[in-house]
Amino acid sequence: MTDLLGTLKGRIDQRDAKVAVIGLGYVGLPLVLRFAEVGFPVIGVDIDADKVTKLEAGESYIEHIPAAAVRSLVAKGFRATTDFSVLSSVDAIVICVPTPLNLHREPDLSYVTGTMDAVAPHMRAGQLVALESTTYPGTTEEELRPRIERQGLVVGQTAFLCFSPEREDPANTKFKTQTIPKVCGGSTPACLEAGVALYSKIIDKVVEVSSTRAAEMTKLLENIHRAVNIGLVNEMKVVADRMGIDIHEVIRAAATKPFGFVPYWPGPGLGGHCIPIDPFYLTWKAREYGVNTRFIELAGEINSAMPNWVVSKLADALNDRERSLKGSRILMLGVAYKKNVDDMRESPALELMEILGEKGAQVDYSDPHVPALPKTRRHHFELASVALDAETVAGYDAVLLATDHDAFDYDLIRKCARLIVDTRGVYASGGANIVKA
């Protein structure tokens, strides 16, 4: 063990260790760029041949990662592949694959287990495997460790295993991969030592925890904290609306308190790859221990109800103008899950479009970051983004502001729209044609 761990750490210290990142999406690709930036030889592996082809050609498929960065990566010797056999030549394997929910809102670990099944036959003594995909406590030990040890390796002695949850925030201008502290837990002390050795070369601060389970729970706590607080302000929004109070004004006022309050903002529902999904990983696992996570599940119910609440506000506003929702032309402003990104994973805008379509509305969308709607696991719309001008905006019965991108001309929209349903608090001063939702 000592020789293998020492050899691995020595190669990492000299930046001779070859790193493979599996899953080249919003988490994996920034990680690849960071490893290459500090001088590690790095390989990218993905089952999506289109992604591999684009990367090999020096193209980017993620808006906030410029093509120039990918070209520089390729110039340094980076290669991408769909062939898992290359893993036999690497020293560290970092897994960054999706962990969605199935149709029953239960964890779908098929990407993680399928990836580990593909990795295991190519493993050799002395390698480190790090899982970054968000999951429930126990996944690393229950799903990855047995698959490694079935290859004749012993975790902590001849192979090293850790969990280090991703904390990427696409388009965040304040923090980036290097500057976001990295939590790391190992299956054994030797595993933790190997994981810290690797991540400390690319991350400014590595936070050690006692186990992979503690690291897995840390990630869930971070995201559940956000989900619960967003659920709280979404419920407060509904109460405030009934009372004729602007919840955004209230939150802004409360945020002036210099202690004891952190502002969270309501919206049309939860979006992104973490917040709408991760709480359900813990609620599912908690049942194994006879625990009902009522607080978390209640927040989930509130947040899941928001798209229907927004549609009801839109329907009421149209009704006040002697228009029915059925047959109305609705323009959705923004389909990404948050402002200024092209990331549509779990976007509440898609749920809104689905509901509106089912109720007979004709829905178009405008989003400068999403020129055409890709097919997702749950939704498939064959639509392209509508360019905004005065005549176009005026031609719709209502504009539903779902994502508050900076690129939108909000003054033009205010002047020309017959009706604006604002789910993001953009139009703080209100107006005769503005309904807040």
Annotated catalytic residues are 274
For the beta carbon of residue 229, count every other beta carbon within 10 angstroms: 15
Q: How far apart are CA 230 and CA 123, in angstroms?
A: 42
Provide φ and ψ at 102, rounded to 5°. Answer: -85, -175
CB 371 within 8 A of CB 321: no
| End-to-end CA gap in the chain | 59
Provide φ and ψ at 396, rounded to 5°. Answer: -100, 150
Contacts of 68 (CB under 8 A, 6+ apart): none
> What is the 3 state secondary structure string of 14-55?
CCCCCEEEECCCCCHHHHHHHHHHCCCCEEEECCCHHHHHHH
- Report the candidate in 136, 197, 168, 185 with the shortest Cα–Cα distance to residue 4: 197
- Report the candidate in 272, 262, 282 with the shortest Cα–Cα distance to residue 107: 282
Please compute, for residue 103, the number of CA atoms within 13 A of its CA located in the half-sphere on the CB side.
3
- Report the candidate in 113, 95, 105, 72 with the shortest Cα–Cα distance to residue 22: 95
H or E segment at 145? helix 145-149
Q: How far apart are CA 46 and CA 81, in angstroms?
A: 6
What the block records as the tokens of 300 is 């989930």
Q: How far is CA 225 from CA 105, 170, 262, 265, 376, in A?
A: 19, 19, 11, 13, 27
Beta-strand (E) ranges in 24-150?
42-45, 79-81, 92-95, 128-131
What the block records as the tokens of 92 is 């560290």
Q: How far apart are CA 300 and CA 270, in angstroms?
A: 9
Would you tell me the crossing angle of helices 294-320 and 212-242 to the nearest 10 degrees? 30
Q: How far apart are CA 125 and CA 282, in angstroms?
A: 33
